A and B are shown apart, each in its own frame.
Chain A
Amino acid sequence: MTAARAYDAVMAQRVDILRRSVGLDYAAYETGAIAFDYEGLLADAGYDLETTRAVQKETAVGNTPLVELTNVTELARSVAKPGRGARIFVKDEARNPSGSFKDRRASLSVHEAKRRGYEGVAAATSGNYGAAVASQAAKAGLRCIVVQEAFDSAAVAQPEIAEKTRACEAYGAEVMRLSVGPELFYVLLCVLKETGYFNASLYTPYSILGIETLGYEVAAQTQAHTGRFPDVVIATHAGGGNVTGTARGLHKAGATQVQLVAASVDLTGLHMASDRDFNRKSFTTGHTGFSLPFTGWPDRADVPRNAARPLRYMDRFVTVTQGEVFFITQVLAELEGLERGPAGNTSLAAAFAIAQDLDAEQLVVVQETEYTGAGKHPLAQLNLARRMGIEVRRGDPEEDEPGRRIVIPEHPSQISVADVDLHRVRRSYLRNAIGTLGGATSLNAADIEFLVAETRTDTHYVKETIDALRTEKR
């Protein structure tokens, strides 16, 4: 069979391959033309908070320290109005076994794969999640294959992903390194078809339920430390799992009044499937290249229905620049003695700006850090950027231009956030939702109710917006 025919043939078997590889019958949860029983899908996975905590305890996942960043807070107060500058805390998730919160996501997937008798697990991921799956698989005695998008057509590897290759191989996984392109998914399907392994997708219920413990711990530890729940929790936002799982965990701890802020690095203008742009990004995750499409339509993942549905949970969505994150990464190391990130510090850069708008007695929690090291470091990224012809300089972050110029702030007062208009994201979500339907398909009551929950709006808003979008289309 030629490669082109093999591609079409495998893609055509996608639904069957995925059903076998995650052991979930997604079709059974469909309740309308668009709607599905989201809570039912999650509940049937069989991992309530206590069960998840018990599973994670077995592999030393979670229960990471909550650290008050007293010096960073003082720095924020130095540029805030008098009386402003909330206390900033960080959940030091780098202390998980493979160095990031992704261990929480991998733990339930690997546990479930073992329970169901799969011989191994496979995942398509170029990030920390690969190392997490490999680490959990090592402990569980399962084989592991990680498929990465790792290098461009000139054979230049993205240094952060090169480090992830090394980490996965250190845990005994097979790593398939691919050049740039969304056909990563096709290669994953081939692997799943050939091996019969469990698909440890980032977007199954297991992956999301595994993060609920993080939100729960944030609430409980903040309360133990300060006597109350946080006012604001900020999560670095890419595919939506971090926002979704954290929010659900906060709610389960009773912290229902917390403002949840999603923060992404602004990579506007860089195409995610572009061979040319691949190494012009200094961040491989936590950026708008993932977060905008996944917030505007989550069901674009490697499973039929995405358990990460961030628009349901975020109260605010902000972006920061690459240069601002590099600046705050340096500040975290030199003022707090925590060398972490850089991608995980996206939410810290946002926290630094947002804390300045809050009163000094209020509490902001940055809900993750990640390990740092060779390749996965501001020095490696900025040296690559220069090699790719990108200008790197100190200056006003307003002049930052993804793929052309990285501007490291000259002063902490220059760090700010840009708000993403959630009204536009909701509209975009609804446009995508009706776009998945045939022209004349009508929506039932379950569909409307589902879209209300997805967009956190009301029936009137959903109906009116859909009517307007349909008129626009004609």
Chain B
Amino acid sequence: MTDVVATGSWVQIHRVVLRPGQRAPQVPEETQRVPLEMLVKGFLAEAARVGDDVEIVTAAGRRLRGTLTDVNPAYSHGFGEPVPELGRIGLEVRAVLRERGRIR
């Protein structure tokens, strides 16, 4: 049993907009086979648990329903590791300009 999430918490909900077989006719085969899914964040309208069908109030003030998936969802995008294929480009092009007497 997951913890109760308090009313007013910043959360994310999930909903299937179109199921496989309901997709637009022009989409390719591998897209036809999967649903069109939606994720939206907002303030939880009433206390609930993760996995419950809930209502949220979005930043635009809309009330939307869906399955509660996350509480205070993180921004997890970043940069990751340095990429060796990019790491030496600066040295190389500076060497060219140094040869031409443009930089020291």
Interface residues, chain A, CB within 8 Å of chain B? Answer: 2-4, 7, 71, 74-75, 78, 120, 143-145, 150-151, 153, 157, 159, 162-163, 165-166, 169, 172-183, 186-187, 194-195, 271, 273-276, 326-327, 330-331, 333-335, 374-375, 377-380, 382-383, 392-394, 408, 411-412
B-chain residues with CB within 8 Å of residue A75 when the two chains form the complex: 93, 96-97
A-chain residues with CB within 8 Å of residue B60 when the two chains form the complex: 120, 143-145, 173-174, 195
Please give the distance in Å from B59's CB to the nearest CB on chain A.
Answer: 4
Known pairs A4-B21, A330-B90 / 6 extra A-B pairs, C-beta < 8 Å: A3-B22, A120-B60, A151-B37, A153-B34, A274-B30, A379-B80
A178-B37, A378-B83 given; A3·B17 CB < 8 A: yes
Interface residues, chain B, CB within 8 Å of chain A? Answer: 17-19, 21-24, 26-28, 30-31, 34-42, 58-62, 75-83, 85-86, 89-90, 92-94, 96-97, 99-100, 102-103
On whether the beta carbons of A187 and B17 are closer than 8 Å, the reply is: yes
Please give the distance in Å from A402's CB to the nearest CB on chain B.
Answer: 16
On whether the beta carbons of A177 and B40 are closer than 8 Å, the reply is: yes
Report Cα–Cα, A412/B95, bound state, in Å.
Answer: 12
B-chain residues with CB within 8 Å of residue A412 when the two chains form the complex: 93, 96
CB closest chain-B residue, reference A179 = B37
Report Cα–Cα, A411/B95, bound state, in Å.
Answer: 12
B-chain residues with CB within 8 Å of residue A180 when the two chains form the complex: 31
A-chain residues with CB within 8 Å of residue B80 when the two chains form the complex: 379-380, 383
Please give the distance in Å from A300's CB to the nearest CB on chain B.
Answer: 11
Q: Which of B31, B42, B81 contacts A274 (CB 8 A)?
A: B31
On whether the beta carbons of B27 and A182 are closer than 8 Å, the reply is: yes
A-chain residues with CB within 8 Å of residue B58 when the two chains form the complex: 145, 174
Please give the distance in Å from A323's CB to the nearest CB on chain B.
Answer: 9
Report Cα–Cα, A173/B61, bound state, in Å.
Answer: 10
A-chain residues with CB within 8 Å of residue B61 when the two chains form the complex: 143
On whether the beta carbons of A273 and B86 are closer than 8 Å, the reply is: no
On whether the beta carbons of A275 and B96 are closer than 8 Å, the reply is: no
CB closest chain-A residue, reference B81 = A383
On whether the beta carbons of A331 and B93 are closer than 8 Å, the reply is: yes
Report Cα–Cα, A144/B62, bound state, in Å.
Answer: 11
Report Cα–Cα, A172/B77, bound state, in Å.
Answer: 19
CB closest chain-A residue, reference B76 = A162
A4-B22, A382-B83, A408-B85 given; A179·B36 CB < 8 A: yes
4 shortest A-B CB distances, which residue pairs? A334-B90, A383-B80, A375-B77, A162-B77
Instruction: Write 30 A-B pairs (CB below 8 A) sorted by A numbering.
Output: A2-B22, A78-B96, A145-B58, A145-B62, A153-B34, A153-B35, A159-B77, A162-B75, A166-B75, A169-B41, A174-B60, A174-B62, A177-B40, A178-B37, A182-B24, A182-B26, A274-B31, A275-B30, A333-B90, A335-B90, A335-B93, A335-B94, A374-B75, A374-B78, A379-B79, A379-B80, A379-B82, A379-B86, A383-B80, A411-B92
CB closest chain-B residue, reference A274 = B28
Please give the distance in Å from A422's CB to the nearest CB on chain B.
Answer: 27
Please give the distance in Å from B60's CB to the nearest CB on chain A.
Answer: 4
